[in-house]
Structure 1
Amino acid sequence: MAAPITSEAFSCFLFYGVLLVVKMYILAIITGQVRLRKKAFANPEDALRHGGLQFHREDPYVERCRRAHVNDMENILPFLFLGAIYSMTGPCLAVARTHFLVFFVARCLHTVAYLFGLKAPTRSLAYVVAQIPCVSMALQILAAVAAYA
């Protein structure tokens, strides 16, 4: 039997971290489904399997979905690293939860804004808001380990 996770901050991080990974999987599935619906395949072998090489092409909405997914990878992966380390520094649970929740909500809003092409500055604002807890966690990690450097 696995040992229970005793850090409340780390448990909170795991909750939001797993939700973000699930969100990334959902976005990958959406991208694949849009490719199928639009018959716009990135690889010739996929196009051949779904009707012919004429479907080895780009589609603006498929590209929008793909860019949203790439943006998630560029931002969620660093969050997962920072959040895990930050959780080990013994942060106040309420502050840690706020960091994780703000990042999660902002990234969800960013994805919705990306997929639906919401008017500026919704997507940019969601991006910036999600960066605030990441910068805060990074600074707090650095402050916690500065004496050992």
Structure 2
Amino acid sequence: MAVLVTNEVFSCFVFYAVLLVMKMFIMAIITGQVRLRKKAFANPEDALRHGGLQYHREDPYVERCRRAHINDMENILPFLFLGAIYSLTGPSLAVARLHFLVFFVCRVLHSIAYLCALRAPTRSMAYTFAQIPCVSMALQILMAVAAYA
């Protein structure tokens, strides 16, 4: 464990990884709170507990929050894998930090754009720019291990 903590790139990755996981938790909380406020429950037992089966329904804004949360899971989880492995390949701290920061900022912007229904192309640009560091890390990992394959 001490080796991982003294690896500056890995420590930098862990910092951004924890922020991203916290962001995913926040998205889950937002989705739940919007469900409560809009009285739109996915499960009949939840609807019954909060006023009746008429609240076992979909709401467009709840669905928007849910899709934003799912999108986070589809994109942040691969980043966590790639970033951890990439950190152990010996990249430059400055370059690695840039990869992690760009991904983090773009994911935050993507969520804001999704939740606020901002006009195109904000959300798609944030998504696209977040993919650049992921592709870069994946290629660098492949080049680092190619000799062993």
Name the TM tier (shorter chain): over 0.9
CA distance in 1: counterparts of 2:2 and 2:134, whole angstroms: 28
Amino acid at match of 1:52: G
Listed one character per residue, the Cα deviations across residues 20-66 of structure 1 (whole Å, up to 9, x for unaligned) are: 00000001000000000000000000000000000000000000000
Structure 2 equivalent of residue 38 of structure 1 = 38
Amino acid at match of 2:122: T
The runs of at least 4 consecutive aligned structure 1 residues that moved more than 2 Å come to none
CA distance in 1: counterparts of 2:102 and 2:15, whole angstroms: 13
How many residue pairs were aligned? 148
Structure 1 equivalent of residue 107 of structure 2 = 107
Structure 1, 31-40 or 3-12: larger mean CA deviation = 3-12
**Aligned residues with identical type, % of pairs:** 82
CA distance in 1: counterparts of 2:15 and 2:144, whole angstroms: 24
Listed one character per residue, the Cα deviations across residues 118-140 of structure 1 (whole Å, up to 9, x for unaligned) are: 00000000000000000000000
Amino acid at match of 1:80: L
| Residue aligned with 1:48, SS | helix
Structure 1 equivalent of residue 54 of structure 2 = 54
CA distance in 1: counterparts of 2:114 and 2:108, whole angstroms: 10
Structure 2 equivalent of residue 84 of structure 1 = 84
TM-score where L is the length of structure 1: 0.98
CA distance in 2: counterparts of 1:6 and 1:81, whole angstroms: 20
- Segments of structure 2 that go 5 or more residues without pairing to the other structure are none
Over the aligned positions, Cα root-mean-square deviation in angstroms equals 0.8
Query: How far is 1:3 from its partner?
Result: 3.1
TM-score where L is the length of structure 2: 0.98
CA distance in 1: counterparts of 2:90 and 2:7, whole angstroms: 8
Amino acid at match of 1:41: F
